[in-house]
């Protein structure tokens, strides 16, 4: 803690809201001194109300019903098993989409016919709860801050639901899951028109709400795009700070620490996913999160890390040489992955089937691997159909980004399937099956205001190559095993940006430096940091 306080001794106040957004980021280097590595933005730019009401109206439109009640509970607080310590709390994203509320224990309802969005919040804390935890937001505060027609205490929710069903007997109450139904509400008796009313069963409907919400969430509104843009701006600062110090880091843990410290100092205290800071062979592990091995003697770092801003994610991957210079083999692979990404991003516009972009990425990969003699003994078409390329490119090309880093899409959307976000992962199951149809024939049509990632990669996983592909006669003949040893030290290269589909093309929301711009930062800062390390012993 003392080290962190020392590092934060001199803080620069700045606004990240207006960062450049083109593919060539042009990010400025804002930190002249390495002890100024983290800085605090004391004046958040975005203060407008979360657009909960328009989101609720859009969900109702996607439901294609004119009446009924949408019921969404937020997440409650709970403790770890056999402990009084609370589990790290993270708001339910479907609830947040229709409320913007980011504190525990609330419910939101939307009366479709009356166009009424209500928040049901916990009653005020009393006694020792106030002393230990402070006060929860009041009805007045929630009304002022959020976009609701009314705000009430959750203790009155049971009466509201019972009356709604009594007066709207043909309507359904739309929910996501059975386990989220209100407890014991139907057993209570309340007075309606002077008589006691008992309801033994509420008309819950559990199949229609999630597809409707998924379809709504797939298309981002201007507020959501601003949040994702802001998350990307903070991510860029964090990636820059890692680049500045990478030549003098000793362990992967320091990469994770600097990235997180930068995000937290910008008030982005949550990470949308575990930071992946894999060096050397660890760069070939797609979801490597241990981040605890020494950097000495290794060539590359694959840093997959993005900030979260007001519950909206960014998803950014950069691969760079620890020394500031690529080896010849690493440069060959980096250039190939960069070509894959640039070619695919250039294809993005409304009406394009994402599956065609995926296939194009694979074709570029195959062409490059053939030039490097890593794939052999077949034409481009034969290599494509063989699936041998999966030894080097074993994951999907992209996914939606939003309230989840792997965000949802509508029911016809196969983008997540292509990215391995379904329980049946065709990219992995295809290792064991001949059928390539799930990979090659499915896709989603891109629409304006979708935000997706483009994240190609080429990897040299010793396990995947030697234990899976080279032992399988269907693939082994296409892979030049004699060249693998000189590429294994690379581990892997992945480059990932968040792309907004615009009305006539795309906009790259990711501004983190890559390629020559990243190398320039690594090498320009080496002398400055060397001096500080000599004087102070290290960063802190």
**Token digits for 79?**
């403790």
Nearest to 118 by CA among 105, 102, 106: 106
Residue 58: exposure state from Cβ atoms within 10 A (0-12, 13-18, ≥19): buried
Q: Is residue 136 located within the same domain as residue 244?
A: no
Q: Is residue 142 located within the same domain as residue 252?
A: no
Q: Which structural domain range is residue 528 located in?
A: 219-536
Q: Is residue 161 located within the same domain as residue 294?
A: no
Residue 409 has a pLDDT of 85
pTM: predicted TM-score of the whole model, two decimal places: 0.85
Domain ends where: 184, 213, 242?
213
DSSP 331-399: HHHHHHHHHHHHHHHHT--TT-BHHHHHHHHHHHHHHHHHHTTSB-SS-HHHHHHHTGGGGT--S-S--
Q: Is residue 455 located within the same domain as residue 427?
A: yes
CA distance 531 to 491: 31
Residue 117 included in any domain: yes
Residue 516 has a pLDDT of 98
Residue 47 included in any domain: no
**Torsion angle defined by CA atoms of residues 268, 270, 272 and 275, in that order, rounded to the nearest 10 degrees:** 90
**Token digits for 35?**
């002890």
Residue 202 has a pLDDT of 78
Q: Is residue 258 located within the same domain as residue 180?
A: no
Domain count within the chain: 2
Q: Is residue 112 located within the same domain as residue 167?
A: yes
Nearest to 110 by CA among 185, 60, 167, 156: 60
Domain ends where: 213, 235, 261?
213
Q: Is residue 61 located within the same domain as residue 134?
A: yes
Q: Is residue 151 located within the same domain as residue 299?
A: no
**Token digits for 85?**
């310590």
Residue 295 included in any domain: yes
Mean pLDDT by runs of 10 across the 540 residues of the chain is 40 40 37 46 63 98 98 96 95 98 97 99 91 93 96 95 91 94 59 54 90 96 98 99 96 98 98 98 98 98 99 99 98 99 98 93 98 98 95 95 92 46 37 35 79 98 97 97 98 99 98 98 77 52
CATH number at residue 110: 3.40.350.10
């Amino acid at each position: 803690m003392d080290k962190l306080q020392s590092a934060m001794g001199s803080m620069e106040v700045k606004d990240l809201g207006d960062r450049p957004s083109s593919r060539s980021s042009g990010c400025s280097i804002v930190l002249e001194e390495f002890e100024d590595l983290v800085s605090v933005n004391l004046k958040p730019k975005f203060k407008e109300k979360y657009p909960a009401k328009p989101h609720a109206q859009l969900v109702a439109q996607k439901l294609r019903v004119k009446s009924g009640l949408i019921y969404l509970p937020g997440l409650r607080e709970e403790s770890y098993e056999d402990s009084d310590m609370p589990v790290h709390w993270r708001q339910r994203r479907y609830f947040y989409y229709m409320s913007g509320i980011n504190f525990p224990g609330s419910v939101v309802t939307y009366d479709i016919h009356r166009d009424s969005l209500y928040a049901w919040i916990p009653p005020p804390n009393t006694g020792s709860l106030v002393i230990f935890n402070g006060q929860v937001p009041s009805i007045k505060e929630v009304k002022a801050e959020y976009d609701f027609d009314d705000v009430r205490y959750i203790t009155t929710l049971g009466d509201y639901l019972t009356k709604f069903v009594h007066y709207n007997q043909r309507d359904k109450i739309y929910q996501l899951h059975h386990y989220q139904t209100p407890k014991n509400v139907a057993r209570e008796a309340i007075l309606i028109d002077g008589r006691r009313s008992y309801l033994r069963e509420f008309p819950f409907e559990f199949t229609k709400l999630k597809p409707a919400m998924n379809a709504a969430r797939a298309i981002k509104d201007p507020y959501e795009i601003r949040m994702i843009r802001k998350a990307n701006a903070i991510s860029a600062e964090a990636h820059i700070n890692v680049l500045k110090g990478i030549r003098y880091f000793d362990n992967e843990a320091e990469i994770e620490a600097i990235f997180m410290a930068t995000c937290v100092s910008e008030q982005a205290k949550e990470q949308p996913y575990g930071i992946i800071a894999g060096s050397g062979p660890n760069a070939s592990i797609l979801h490597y999160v241990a981040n605890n091995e020494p950097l000495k003697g290794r060539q590359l770092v694959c840093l997959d890390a993005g900030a979260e801003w007001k519950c909206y994610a960014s998803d950014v991957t950069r691969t760079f040489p620890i020394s500031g210079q690529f080896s010849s083999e690493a440069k060959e692979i980096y250039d190939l992955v960069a070509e894959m990404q640039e070619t695919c991003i250039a294809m993005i516009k409304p009406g394009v089937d994402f599956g065609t972009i995926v296939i194009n990425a694979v074709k570029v990969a195959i062409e490059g691997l053939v030039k490097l003699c890593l794939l052999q003994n077949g034409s481009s078409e034969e290599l494509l159909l063989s699936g041998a390329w999966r030894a080097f490119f074993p994951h999907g090309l992209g996914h939606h980004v939003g309230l989840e880093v792997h965000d949802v899409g509508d029911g016809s959307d196969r983008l997540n399937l292509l990215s391995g976000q379904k329980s049946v992962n065709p990219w992995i199951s295809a290792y064991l099956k001949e059928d390539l149809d799930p990979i090659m024939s499915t896709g989603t049509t891109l629409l304006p205001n979708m935000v997706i990632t483009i994240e190609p990669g080429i990897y040299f996983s010793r396990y995947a190559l030697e234990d899976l592909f080279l032992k399988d006669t269907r693939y082994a003949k296409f892979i030049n095993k004699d060249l693998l040893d000189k590429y294994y030290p690379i581990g892997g290269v992945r480059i990932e940006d968040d792309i907004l589909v615009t009305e006539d093309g795309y906009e790259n929301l990711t501004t983190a430096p890559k390629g020559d711009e990243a190398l320039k930062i690594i090498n320009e800062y080496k002398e400055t940091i060397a001096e500080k390390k000599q004087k102070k012993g290290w960063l802190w």
